[in-house]
């Protein structure tokens, strides 16, 4: 069991790193930051020389691979961290310093128990990509196929385990001391989900299985494909898959030179995401520009399946109705779904929530994407979150993040695309096909049966005592974390030490929990 002193030492080091890169200003200036955290931000940066322009990417990279993954998530949220910070953090999705090839060779040979030459006829020692978790090399198999080989960075699993253990410890203390707002954002649950995502990403057999499952889901979807896995050259630390010859989807000049219709690519990308998320309930959750290519046939090819999202059928039905309601202006139904899914507590007014949704959605309807965005919509929804006590929904965090990613790429391909008009026919068709004939008359049925559906006093009392699970899956058990004042048997209460913990936890988590919240 890691001692509190060890967690504090790690957090102190991270706080000082953030300060040296000027990255504490965001926490210090956030109006939602607790006063003790704001005060101790000043303590953390005491004696440091801060650059005039904060270097968020440099700070997260210096802290380590777990922080880099958090930074990659924040890079997709300019509506929360600002355009400057989001642009700076995009460097975390680009090339990082590679691991020496001798270490890569040793990793491959030790995990397969055989020489590199028995697996590959040739192996390029210079990586084609290096990220926080792994790096990728091109190679040719002994049977003559060109492949891409992904290898975990040596020691990365152990480093993640140590860092996430401290994240869990810090989140528990932050939640205990942070008050109602922090409790609403559920930092412990956010870190628990973050841990599950990264554990999957650190097992390349699971990534390979994810790629295989997504390929099955999308087999009938024209214009989008997944490279095949070479299972004989894949294990927990190494993954081998077919080589992709194509143009990065972010290289618009090359796409134009090749004669591809960028507007068509943008529409196909949006529909591919909707097919995965709403139709299949299983989606590629790391759809940034470096992970999407266009091959010579014009097919969009996705790579890197370490982060995948999954939502159950009931939540997909609610999601489809929410998206369709927003596109058609049926804010009352969108509000009702939020209450049915228990995203909004039952003591609030459905009508008031519908009005708040209208204030967000109405200014955006019918406008080109140059004048609106999913990010802007989410920003508006965040603004009403606190008023209606909406808790963070961890099972939807990846979906939210991916929606913003897909929109960013689609608008780069086609600045005139209207995301709502693109999504509406798909969502309408899915709702009709999946919910059956009753979906077409559901609004009429709902109106005609209001009296029968509302026996409010009795039903509300029963629901309050035995609440339904709603739209969120049952929360996974959280790790037991012994709080420091419990360890001290609460002799003196949190006091100054508690404030210190709040700051340390806040340094690593306050921005993260705000950025990772679903509509909150």
- H or E element, residue 152: strand 146-152
Please enumerate in sequence order all residues whose Cβ is within 8 A of that of 136, keeping only pairs 6 or more positions apart, or say none. 127, 128, 129, 130, 148, 149, 150, 151
**Neighbouring-strand partners of residue 248:** 293
Give the whole-angstrom CA distance, residue 322 versus residue 19.
41
Secondary structure (DSSP) of 58-126: HHHHHH-HHHHHHHHHHTT-HHHH-HHHHHHHGGGGS--PPPPHHHHHHHHHHHHTS-GGGTEEEE-SS
Alpha-carbon separation of residue 373 from 108, 244, 309, 380, 416 (angstroms):
44, 31, 22, 11, 11
Given a contact cutoff of 8 angstroms between Cβ atoms, the answer to whether 305 and 207 are in contact is yes
Task: Give phi and psi for 149, each to the nearest 5.
Answer: -120, 120
Say how many residues make up the chain: 520
Eight-class DSSP state of 479: P
| CA distance readout (Å), 110 to 105, 204, 237 | 8, 15, 10
How many whole angstroms separate alpha carbon 480 and alpha carbon 180?
A: 21
110 contacts: CB under 8 Å, gap ≥ 6: none
Provide DSSP, 402-446.
Answer: HHHHHHHHHHHH-TT--HHHHHHHHHHHHHHHHH-GGGTTHHHHH
Q: Based on the number of CB atoms within 10 Å of its own CB, is 490 exposed (0-12), middle (13-18) or buried (19 or more)?
A: exposed
| Residues known to be catalytic | 286
Give, rounded to a whole angstrom, the gap between the first and last alpha carbons of the chain. 33
Do 227 and 212 meet the contact criterion of CB atoms below 8 Å apart? no
3-state secondary structure string across 221-277: CCCEECCCECHHHCCCCEEEEECCCEEECCCHHHHHHCCCCHHHHHHHHHHHHHHHH
Neighbour-count burial of 183, counting CB atoms closer than 10 A to its CB (0-12 exposed, 13-18 middle, 19+ buried): middle
């Amino acid at each position: 069991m890691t001692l509190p002193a060890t967690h504090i030492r790690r957090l102190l080091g991270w706080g000082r790193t953030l300060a040296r890169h000027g990255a504490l200003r965001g926490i210090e200036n956030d109006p939602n930051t607790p006063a003790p955290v704001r005060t101790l931000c000043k303590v953390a940066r005491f004696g440091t020389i801060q650059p005039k322009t904060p270097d968020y990417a440099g700070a997260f990279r210096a802290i380590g691979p777990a922080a880099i993954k958090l930074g990659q998530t924040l890079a997709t949220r300019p509506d929360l961290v600002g355009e400057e910070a989001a642009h700076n953090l995009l460097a975390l999705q680009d090339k990082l310093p590679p691991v020496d090839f001798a270490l890569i060779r040793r990793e491959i040979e030790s995990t397969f128990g055989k020489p590199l030459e028995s697996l590959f006829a040739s192996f390029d020692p210079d990586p084609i990509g290096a990220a926080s978790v792994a790096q990728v090399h091109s190679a040719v198999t002994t049977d003559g196929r060109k492949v891409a080989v992904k290898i975990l960075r040596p020691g990365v699993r152990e480093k993640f385990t140590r860092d996430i253990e401290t994240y869990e410890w810090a989140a528990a203390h932050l939640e205990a001391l942070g008050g109602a707002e922090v409790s609403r954002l559920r930092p412990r649950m956010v870190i628990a989900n973050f841990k599950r995502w990264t554990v999957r990403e650190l097992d390349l057999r699971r990534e390979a299985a994810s790629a295989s499952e997504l390929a099955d889901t999308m087999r009938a979807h024209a214009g989008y494909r997944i490279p095949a896995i070479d299972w004989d050259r894949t294990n927990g630390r190494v993954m081998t898959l077919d080589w992709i010859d194509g143009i990065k989807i972010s290289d618009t000049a090359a796409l134009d030179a090749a004669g591809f219709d960028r507007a068509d690519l943008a529409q196909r990308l949006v529909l591919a995401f909707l097919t995965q998320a709403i139709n299949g309930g299983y989606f590629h959750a790391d759809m940034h520009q470096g992970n999407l290519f266009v091959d010579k046939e014009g097919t969009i090819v996705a790579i890197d399946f370490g982060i995948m999202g999954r939502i159950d059928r009931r939540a997909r039905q609610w999601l489809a109705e929410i998206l369709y309601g927003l596109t058609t202006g049926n804010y009352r139904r969108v509000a009702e779904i939020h209450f049915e899914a228990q995203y909004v507590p039952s003591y609030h007014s459905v009508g008031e929530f519908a009005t708040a949704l209208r204030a967000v959605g109405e200014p955006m309807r019918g406008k080109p994407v140059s004048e609106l965005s999913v990010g802007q919509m989410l920003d508006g929804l965040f603004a009403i979150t606190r008023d209606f006590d909406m808790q963070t929904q961890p099972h939807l965090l990846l979906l939210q993040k991916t929606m913003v990613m897909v929109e960013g790429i689609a608008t780069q391909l086609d600045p005139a695309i209207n995301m709502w008009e693109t999504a509406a026919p798909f969502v309408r068709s899915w709702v009709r096909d999946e919910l059956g004939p009753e979906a077409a008359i559901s609004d009429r049925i709902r109106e005609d049966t209001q009296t029968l559906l509302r026996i409010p006093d009795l039903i509300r009392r029963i629901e309050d005592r035995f609440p339904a699970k709603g739209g969120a899956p049952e929360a996974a058990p959280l790790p037991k974390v012994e709080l420091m004042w419990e360890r001290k048997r609460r002799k003196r209460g949190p006091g100054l030490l508690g404030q210190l913990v709040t700051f340390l936890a806040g340094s690593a988590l306050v921005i993260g929990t705000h950025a990772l919240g679903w509509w909150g």
